[in-house]
């Protein structure tokens, strides 16, 4: 992409270069630098690009990483800071937003260095106090966050995911850990380290089970969330309509981050945080009759957390698994669904270039007893079957895509929304 200047532009794409333009050199695109030079460009580094773009060095950048919870935690921090009357930029899986305006569509969890610079340029123009971003393990490994000076780094959790890319959990852990090895202030989930290593200097912790800087000492998650948080100087009472222990962790991380960043009284923070209603496609209630919930969960840990939060209901679960991704998690997700569900319908997710039926075959390997499992490769038909089965108060839970509005088949993205399909079927 290119970023326009008054009388020139900056690009990181050799297909866009012209003689005399600026070419952004970074570790992420270093292999293209020589080709750019041959076209007569002015090669600049990230610091020079920030100077040319007038990026405000006082903006506090907050990076959130973890297998699950990044999107909800980032959105909760963004919402709370806005309610506390700060100017804030947010970027991640759901796109980019500044002060409640969407300025870019959904894309990668963490964008390329030049796109992040374009976001920082916007944030500077909008006089933002904070810049909140999701940080993926791919972005850490590929140096997409090079040149960013973080005011706070947050770790949510780590469980099996992305082994198609990282190959082993040890490598995945090493990549995540590398993000927390400097002396930048950091906020760590003490309960779900699972082998994460971090530099203890300037480290704050949060948790429910373990002793932590920000500790939940009492809580209820039966109908919404009600929790007492103990901090170094004062306690706080957190209330939310969101459900599930995993969302308590997300809200606790958001509360802790805002407390560290702003030093505001706990009461002000919890009041602002209580206004956060959650993120589209994350435990989203799509219908009341029958009760239908859509969630993005696509890892064994994510599936378990969602279904465990709903375990008191009779569950009909619809799920699949993404193609061209970690195959070892497919049977694990099946075993978890079997543990919690009354009925299961296994279907397609985003098969990408894999055969959808082969993916479903891999999932079925995880079932001990497939008598309560239906197989329907067509996702729309699978959702319809689940809705037809929900005749006696059962809750339909549709997992894997959340608020995605496409399904990728044979490398082509077709419009598809779980929420739209549910509403269309129920209207008919």
Condensed to tens digits (0 to 9), the pLDDT of residues 38-85 reads: 999 999 999 999 999 999 999 999 999 999 999 999 999 999 999 999
Can you tell me the distance from the alpha carbon of 311 to that of 34, in angstroms, rounded to the nearest whole number?
57
**Under 8 Å between Cβ of 48 and 233:** no
Closest CA to 160 of 396, 326, 38, 384: 326
Would you say residue 147 has pLDDT above 80? yes
Cβ contacts of 382 within 8 Å, gap of 6 or more: 318, 345, 346, 347, 348, 374, 376
Asked, colleague to colleague, whether 54-273 and 284-427 share their fold, the answer is: no
Q: Which residues are annotated as a binding site for ATP?
A: 66-72
Can you tell me the distance from the alpha carbon of 155 to that of 207, in angstroms, rounded to the nearest whole number?
12
List the structure tokens of 377: 């490769």
Burial classification of residue 8, based on how many CB atoms lie within 10 Å of its CB (0-12 exposed, 13-18 middle, 19 or more buried): middle
List the structure tokens of 124: 């500077």
Report pLDDT for 273.
Answer: 98
Can you tell me the distance from the alpha carbon of 190 to that of 304, in angstroms, rounded to the nearest whole number?
20
**φ, ψ of residue 2 in degrees (nearest 5):** -130, 150
Can you tell me the distance from the alpha carbon of 302 to that of 283, in angstroms, rounded to the nearest whole number?
11
Does this model's pTM top 0.85?
yes
What number is the average pLDDT over the span 198-223? 95
For residue 19, name the pLDDT band (cuts at 50, 70, 90): very high
**Average pLDDT of the chain to the nearest whole number:** 95
Would you say residue 407 has pLDDT above 90? yes
Cis peptide before 415 (omega within 30 of 0): no
List the structure tokens of 72: 């909800």
Would you say residue 159 has pLDDT above 90? no
| Interstrand relation of 88-92 and 95-98 (parallel, antiparallel or unpaired) | antiparallel
- What radius of gyration, in Å, describes the C-alpha atoms of the chain? 22
Closest CA to 286 of 390, 133, 163: 390
One CATH from 1.20.120, 1.25.40, 3.40.50, 3.40.1390 for 2-52 = 3.40.1390
**Under 8 Å between Cβ of 236 and 215:** no
pLDDT digits (tens, 9 = 90+) for 305-339: 999 999 989 999 999 999 999 999 999 999 999 99
Cβ contacts of 387 within 8 Å, gap of 6 or more: 290, 292, 396, 422, 425, 426
Half-sphere exposure of 36 (CA within 13 A, CB side): 23
CA 368 and chain centroid, separation: 31
Would you say residue 118 has pLDDT above 80? yes
Distance set, CA 16 to CA 10, 23, 32, 383 (Å): 10, 10, 12, 44
Report pLDDT for 234.
Answer: 86
Report pLDDT for 65.
Answer: 97
Distance set, CA 367 to CA 196, 339, 342 (Å): 31, 9, 13
Report pLDDT for 162.
Answer: 64
Report pLDDT for 165.
Answer: 76
What number is the average pLDDT over the span 355-384? 97
**Under 8 Å between Cβ of 250 and 76:** yes
Can you tell me the distance from the alpha carbon of 269 to that of 235, in angstroms, rounded to the nearest whole number?
12
Would you say residue 169 has pLDDT above 90? no
Report pLDDT for 188.
Answer: 98
Q: Which residues are annotated as a binding site?
A: 14, 66-72, 109-110, 136, 142, 144, 325, 349-352, 400, 404
Q: Which residues are annotated as a binding site for meso-2,6-diaminopimelate?
A: 325, 349-352, 400, 404
pLDDT digits (tens, 9 = 90+) for 253-299: 999 999 999 999 999 999 999 999 999 999 999 999 999 999 999 99
Fold of 54-273: 3.40.1190
How close are the terminal C-alpha atoms of the chain, in Å?
44
Would you say residue 247 has pLDDT above 80? yes
Would you say residue 244 has pLDDT above 70? yes
Report pLDDT for 242.
Answer: 93
Can you tell me the distance from the alpha carbon of 305 to that of 307, in angstroms, rounded to the nearest whole number?
6
What number is the average pLDDT over the span 16-34? 94
* Extents of the domains making up the chain: 2-52, 54-273, 284-427
Reported residue count of the chain is: 428
One CATH from 3.90.190.20, 1.10.3720.10, 3.50.50.60, 2.60.120.560 for 284-427 = 3.90.190.20
């Amino acid at each position: 992409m290119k970023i326009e200047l008054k009388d020139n532009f900056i690009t990181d794409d050799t297909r866009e270069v012209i003689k005399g333009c600026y070419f952004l050199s970074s570790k992420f695109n270093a292999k293209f630098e020589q080709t750019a030079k041959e076209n007569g460009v002015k090669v600049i580094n990230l610091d020079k690009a920030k100077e040319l773009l007038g990026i405000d060095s006082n903006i506090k950048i907050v990076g959130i990483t973890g297998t699950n919870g990044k999107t909800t935690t980032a959105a909760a921090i963004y919402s709370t800071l806005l309610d506390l009357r700060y100017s804030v930029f947010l970027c991640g899986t759901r796109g980019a937003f500044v002060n409640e305006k969407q300025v870019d569509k959904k894309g990668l969890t963490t964008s390329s260095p030049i796109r992040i610079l374009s976001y920082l340029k916007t944030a500077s123009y909008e006089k933002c106090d904070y810049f909140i971003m999701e940080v993926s393990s791919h972005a850490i490994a590929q140096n997409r966050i090079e040149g960013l000076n973080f005011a706070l780094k947050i770790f949510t959790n780590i469980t099996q995911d992305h082994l198609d890319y990282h190959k082993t959990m040890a490598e995945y852990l090493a990549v995540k850990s590398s993000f927390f090895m400097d002396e930048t202030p950091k906020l760590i989930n003490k309960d779900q380290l699972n082998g994460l290593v971090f530099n203890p200097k300037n480290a704050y912790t949060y948790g429910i089970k373990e002793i932590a800087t920000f500790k939940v000492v009492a809580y209820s998650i039966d109908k919404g969330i009600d929790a007492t948080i103990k901090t170094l100087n004062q306690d706080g009472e957190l209330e939310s309509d969101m459900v599930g222990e995993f969302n308590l962790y997300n809200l606790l991380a958001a509360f802790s981050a805002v407390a560290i960043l702003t030093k505001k009284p706990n009461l002000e923070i919890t009041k602002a945080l209580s206004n956060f209603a959650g993120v589209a496609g994350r435990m989203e209630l799509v219908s009341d009759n029958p009760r239908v919930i859509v969630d993005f969960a696509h890892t064994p840990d994510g599936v378990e957390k969602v279904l465990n939060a709903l375990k008191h209901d009779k569950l009909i679960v619809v799920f699949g698994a993404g193609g061209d991704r970690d195959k070892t998690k497919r049977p694990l997700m099946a075993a978890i669904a079997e543990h919690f569900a009354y009925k299961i319908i296994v279907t397609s997710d985003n098969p990408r270039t894999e055969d959808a039926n082969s993916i479903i075959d891999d999932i079925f390997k995880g079932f001990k007893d497939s008598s309560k499992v239906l197989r329907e490769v067509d996702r729309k038909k699978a959702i319809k079957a689940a809705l037809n089965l929900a005749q006696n108060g059962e809750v339909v839970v549709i997992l894997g895509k959340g608020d995605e509005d496409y399904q990728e088949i044979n490398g082509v993205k077709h419009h598809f929304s779980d929420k739209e399909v549910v509403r269309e079927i129920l209207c008919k």
